Structure 1
């Protein structure tokens, strides 16, 4: 029987203690203070949850809390179907659909649907980062931010992409990832016009323009604009090649390197030269090729002074000086300085002649041979004898001609001993012996 009415609201109470607490509520008396945060309450939390230990002062709040543990969600959104345990959470959710943003920031004017969001936003303005990570020391403005950050350390990735299956730690990261799939690039560079799907990627790109390289290698001292580039670089020092090609067995330090390598197997050449139309597998190879058109030759031989547009070409040239020939033919045993020369040589064994003359139809194994042949049709003779002034289309013909002047007869007949200045003359002579 409720015989203890309230003098102010005339509400009856079954117990005198409840009437007293109710009176305290009217008077604003809060005698019970939290030792952790200092927040004050009307009554001591005598309603304690047996599952998590959380205490409540009001029976209604305790009941709502128990609904969370039981998974009871009685408040359903008629627009998106999302369900909530508490009415207040449901109301906040509906404000989002309605676009109600009643909580406005006094500093920047940005508005929010919830007061708690505004509080977190204001903390960001004033730089209050009271929540610190025990693992890496990073600080955050709100407890929720720290909790999400800890998921990264724990390797928890609850947000999965429906398109490619990639899992991410944060919902915001998934949203940005989905923008990438959609081709959405809202973040544009004011200097070069390049656009990005994520603001973080634009910031990293701007560091390139500014020449900012904050990530330095402890081993060799080389600096990078992005942490990812430094990580790949360090993997090279360590010799970590965890990405293996299933076709040829080649290993790579990063996933991107393996992907580019797979393009070679697939014959994909996406990087095309605007001047000559030649296509390349890699962007860096195209860039080096463009140096050839521009006449840029930064790599000079210390022995003979010859310059090259690419470092690898200088290396091959130095191998020629040293007599290094690591590329050997399995059929005839002939060795070459470069792999490309061996490949051309193998075409000779196979009888492959891919280069055809449009004028007479003659085919050649090498592009340079076709070019020399075209000079015959055009009457071009760039190779002149310094002794007699005779001109030749091919350098090899001039070389044979010079043997006449010096009297060198290096090509000798094994049958009769007669010697000749040129190999083709010896061949003709041999035919006379054999008929």
Structure 2
């Protein structure tokens, strides 16, 4: 076969027509021009393919799924999605690809080569297409327009993804859980939930992530930078998504509406999770104990119960946490930040749940009801504690004396009897206390504050327990009853004093108590 050689670079070609086209690479000649947009091409074939952008013609059809393409090579590459063929292999790491260009782009991750440079800001790119898209951030060009709603995009891929909002099409389906997605990128990230793959690694602490955005956000925890700032309230965020979500607190926008109960949401993910409360769907399963969850984040947190991992550490007190949300709330103990404010009384809270519970003091709402006695509660936690009064369950045990408790915080307070720990200190007189409530009540000695007022006689009190005892004078309530003779009392102290008439126990003289207290203080 006769070969034709290029005089400029020496390349050999099989025909004179191929040589002619090849020479145009050196001369820059593009004799074929599109009469619709003016773009020029070296060959008539490339002009024909280009014209299909304008006509919308897609003559190549996939015989498996029916998807159509404007180019035969586009169909060839697409078929590999069905066959799983990845004929292009990286000779450095062995990773395989379905397309030659993807392999070329991948090679640059090894070499660090970024040959495409923006002449406006100097930023460099490993792919020509990325440079093209980047330039549009400077020019503002958005050449791709949705024919249904008119929204414009800088990339054709973004337009394709957007169109699926209108059509509802979700062409990417997970063969492990059946969940489907409208975007290939979202599908790829989702697959990592099942495979456990975390290809993005922090070069400072070694922590790995399944998503590039998560790594970028994580980097901010090392440098403390929150690059996304709200122009309305100056609150800053690690991620653009966090800022977008925050903006909706100002605008009140809630574009996602549940068609089952009408509840609206400001964020698509919250809407998705909410729908599962109707369907009962829990697609995330623990491979160690089989427990299922409606959210991937809940599964991630749950796994740490098995592993004991606590990746969030406070740099102020050294305490570590298994959940990011718990860590964030803990930090507010040190900073004093209380970002949640009641719009009725102005009281502020460090936690959203605390604000929700507080609001019920204004509305009187008690949505949690005991199925045994009908008593209602404003908080789910109070109901679960109350239910133990029926069952007698006391799951918290002191490892020093064996005493059991129905509440974890009661055990914590009890353990301080053994340790003598008094972590709450008065900043006016330095007296220390084992309970926060005792410190609050003590402070009122200095301030003279008496926040508890009797609406029957107007008498005021500095602590709630004294106030409760006082109200029983008016109501006649005597909740403390003697087990020996059934005599009832309005205070626990009155019952204790009465019990001595049965036991014969003599009360400790006041001067002895004072000596004991003095010795304990010394």
TM-score after normalising by structure 2: 0.41
| Greater Rg over alpha carbons, structure | 1
Q: Which has the higher contact order (CA 8 A, sep 6+)?
A: 1
TM-score after normalising by structure 1: 0.47
